Chain A
Amino acid sequence: MTVHIPSALRSYTGRESEVEAEGRTLGEVLSALDRRYPGLRFRIITEQDTIRAHIRIFVNDTQEQTLEAPLRPDDQIHIICALSGG
């Protein structure tokens, strides 16, 4: 599946705005991404496995709240930097 990377995280992906990853759940996909791009996951997921306050993750058009969200191979994942002040 395709993961769309926001500009704030492209220092981890070699400036790539879209990367491919596999996993049955959102958590598995993010872990796979972290193996390829070390450090990326902790910038958007807390040590309690929750999505950070100013990060939103959409699967297709649906905002997901947990890492347990199931995924299909053709899903589109968007990681979004939400409003965080000036």
Chain B
Amino acid sequence: MSRSTTTVAPHPATGSVTLLIGTRKGAFILRGDRARRTWKLSHPHFLGQIVHHLISDPRDPRTMLMAARTGHLGPTIFRSTDQGRTWTEAKTPPAFPKAPEGEKGRVVDHVFWLTPGHASEPNAWYAGTSPQGLFRSDDGGVTWEPFSYINDDPQYREWMGTVQDGTPDGPKLHSIIVDPRDPAHLYFAMSGGGVHESLDGGKTFTTLVGGLDVVEGFDPANIAVHDPHCVRLCPGNPDRLYQQNHCGIYRLDRPSNQWVRIGNNMPKRIGDIGFPMVLHPRDPDTAWVFPMDGSGVWPRVSPGGKPAVYKTSNAGKTWARLSKDFPKAQAWWTVKRQAMTADAHEPVGLYFGTTSGEVWASRTGGVRWTCLASHLPEIYSVEAAEL
């Protein structure tokens, strides 16, 4: 595989930043000024709905898509074309095909992940669901159809496993990535079920798990036991990917198919377990993670109750702890895989939402931090948009 190394975000952004926040009890919009100093929190949108992902369309920033459900009601997608002032529900949300008579069909529990399509396909969107399914819309999110063959392929179904094989709130298809140089070059990941790549627009996918560790005692050749938590492609070099996995932090430089465990360079007392993976918008050597306690029974909280971001500026050779303004003790929260992100400014702004409902921001690439909001519901996703 050989592609140009054209970058997609070569120039720092200068506009105001808006944070789109999905929570267990609704969505919130946190609007900042151009200096990223003052912020105004909206009232909840769709209060009470479980919002796994809320994201704006970089091809048309007026448009936002929201993946929602409630405890009672089934999954759907809401769409706004006026930056969140009004919302319209998708006519046909992602759904698996009706099974033939006598067979048991699958049911989408929730839409977990939304990814805008390639810049050359202005109405294309992808969605990943729980249980694992891959869907696409070609009309801006109004109607959705199963995408590719993987939802019903026997091999993929074996790798997806059953509902019981996934994360505590269901197995998930996530990290849908479109190569900015080629709309036919796609990646996605499954928890569990590994990382997958297509070079032909989804007609075929191949596994991409070389070099990844799995839980002790399992065979890495079994794709089903691979658990990527979050995979990201470098905007500054689309031939480089980073991954936060259930079993460590990795980097992949294409055309190699072998992931390298850069998390081995993290401090041993912290480890390299976590959920989010955040990349610099221009520098492919710079990335941030938010480690959690993956020891023993997997508490999934900040190690020792002391939250910290870790940053690498050399593609994972070394890591620096960034925790200057965080609580020094007794802070037993963590950050989910979609709940940490970066803007495109210089210095880069970093943002994350916690399981305890706080939103933290840094205008200095993680050196100093400010708590922008607290007392929100459990935060599932944070996306930064320049609106």
* Chain A residues within CB distance 8 Å of chain B: 6, 8-9, 38-39, 42-50, 52, 54-55, 81-82, 84-85
* Chain B residues within CB distance 8 Å of chain A: 70-74, 76, 89-91, 93, 95-99, 104-108
**In the complex the two chains form, is A47's CB within 8 Å of B105's CB?**
yes
Which among B72, B76, B95 is the interface contact of A52 at CB below 8 angstroms? B72
Which among B73, B90, B97, B106 is the interface contact of A9 at CB below 8 angstroms? B73
**In the complex the two chains form, is B107's CB within 8 Å of A46's CB?**
yes
Residues of A with C-beta under 8 A to B96 = 47-48
- How far is A8 from B72 in the complex, measured between Cα atoms in Å? 8
Known: A42-B93, A48-B98. A55 touches B72 (CB 8 A): yes
- How far is A43 from B50 in the complex, measured between Cα atoms in Å? 13
Residues of B with C-beta under 8 A to A50 = 107
Give the residue name and chain of the A residue nearest to B97 (CB). A47
Interchain nearest-CB distance for B372 vs A (Å): 26
Residues of B with C-beta under 8 A to A52 = 72-74
- How far is A44 from B106 in the complex, measured between Cα atoms in Å? 15
Which among B71, B73, B89, B105 is the interface contact of A48 at CB below 8 angstroms? B105
**In the complex the two chains form, is A85's CB within 8 Å of B89's CB?**
no
**In the complex the two chains form, is B73's CB within 8 Å of A39's CB?**
no
**In the complex the two chains form, is B70's CB within 8 Å of A48's CB?**
no
- How far is A9 from B73 in the complex, measured between Cα atoms in Å? 8
Residues of B with C-beta under 8 A to A6 = 72
Which among B71, B72, B74, B91 is the interface contact of A46 at CB below 8 angstroms? B74
Which among A47, A81, A82, A84 is the interface contact of B98 at CB below 8 angstroms? A47
Known: A39-B91, A42-B93, A42-B95. A8 touches B105 (CB 8 A): no
Residues of A with C-beta under 8 A to B76 = 39, 42-43
Residues of B with C-beta under 8 A to A9 = 73
Residues of A with C-beta under 8 A to B108 = 47
Which among A38, A47, A81, A84 is the interface contact of B91 at CB below 8 angstroms? A38
For the complex with contacts A47-B97, A52-B74, 5 further pairs of A-B residues with Cβ separation under 8 Å are: A8-B70, A8-B72, A38-B89, A42-B93, A55-B73
